[in-house]
Amino acid sequence: MKVLIVFNHQPYDGSDVTWNGLRLAKRLKEKGSEVKIFLMNDSVDLAREATVKPDFYDTDLVAMLKELYENGVELKVCGTCQARCGLNKNQPYFDEKIKGTMDELANWVVECDKVLTF
């Protein structure tokens, strides 16, 4: 099964939304699903080295995303959002190859069996 997970929230927004989405992505991958992640809006900070885990949070969400990426989860991050969104506007993504487009997101939506949003 192909699953697309679209994130929108700032990673450390005081909730567990992003953490739970990343945990789900990991479990789906472990169970054999093909997992794709697209970051847009303020969630783009999740793909930036400049995003540092706050003291009040016990999990490094950027590290969680990198681990998923290194383990074969496809990742794209909204290219337009790089300059418009997040606390770290205009900061680079941790890998320039992950910069994505709305056209790529549209293609993923069409090809995936399920689309989840966080």
Distance between CA atoms of residues 7 and 100, nearest Å: 14
Summarised one tens digit per residue, pLDDT across range 103-112 is 999 999 999 9
Task: Give the pLDDT of residue 80.
Answer: 93
Task: Give the pLDDT of residue 36.
Answer: 98
Q: Is-above-0.85 flag for pTM?
A: yes
> Which residues, given as ranges, of the chain have pLDDT below 50?
none
Task: Give the pLDDT of residue 91.
Answer: 93
Task: Give the pLDDT of residue 59.
Answer: 95
Kindly state the helix (H) or strand (E) to which residue 35 belongs, with its residue range.
Answer: strand 34-39
Task: Give the pLDDT of residue 51.
Answer: 97
**Residue 68 belongs to a domain with what CATH number?**
3.40.1260.10
Q: How many domains does the chain have?
A: 1
Domain that holds residue 66: 2-117
